[in-house]
Amino acid sequence: MNHNLTVRHLGRRYYGEIYRAMKNFTDIRSQNTCDEIWLVEHHPVFTLGRRGDVKHIHDAGNIPVIHADRGGQVTYHGPGQLVAYLLLDLQRRSLGIRSLVDLLQESTITLLLNYGINSSTHANAPGVYVNERKIASIGLRVRRGCCYHGMSLNVAMDLKPFKRINPCGYAGLEVTQLIDLRGPDNLTCVAGDLVNVLQVNLEYDNITIDDVHNDNGPNSYRTVIISTDTLKQA
């Protein structure tokens, strides 16, 4: 079984570009395709899930609204938020969607606890919360036994656009972020810490990190191989 994982740091990208790329990756992948996680920061955008209702958007203003095929209602992505897209072969890993959601929540809780922040989940409301305020959202899609979309974690961003919507379809839901909880505010560091937790919890043997330098073009990478044993010893 392929227990290798490729992680791509994609920098700041437009949502539509990454959305199309995720769907294409899932359409053309084979049973031998390595699983991937894409780490990205988006330009401001509201996204609506498959059953998303526009009534939960009060005032989009000049922020674009994009309908996506993930689960969940409406959310906001913008600079200062870490988004992790999981492109995994769930059949190959014998992993169900509910189990994956639980794993993502548990991984986020572990990550926050490492920063000295206590967090929890809510029944029937996927995501992670700190003092009843949402800090991480989860939305996935499964096709051909493989998943795409993923999770977002508020790190150090402008939270005001969340006031223009009912986050995840819940009126009055408050949101928070790491910087306001005295957590780290560097997306690169948080991304590395999240990958470390996910690699262990998803039980990948080896990880290849492709760091895309936008100024050098999309095919310029810095590649590093990290083993699970190395992470457990760290």
CATH code assigned at 158: 3.30.930.10
- The answer on pLDDT for 220 being more than 90 is no
CA-to-CA distance for 50 and 148, rounded, in angstroms? 14
**Helix intervals (H) in 115-219:** 187-202
pLDDT tens-digit profile of 62-112? 999 999 999 999 999 999 999 999 999 999 999 999 999 999 999 999 999
Q: Computed over its alpha carbons, how large is the radius of gyration of the chain? A: 17
Domain that holds residue 209: 4-233
Q: Active-site residue among 146, 147, 168, 189? A: 168
pTM of the model: 0.89
pLDDT at 51: 85
Mean pLDDT score across all residues of the chain: 89
**147 catalytic, yes or no?**
no
DSSP for residue 190: H
Q: At what angle do helices 97-114 and 187-202 cross, to 10 degrees?
A: 130
- Domain count within the chain: 1
Beta bridge partners of 198: none
pLDDT tens-digit profile of 21-40? 999 999 999 999 999 999 99
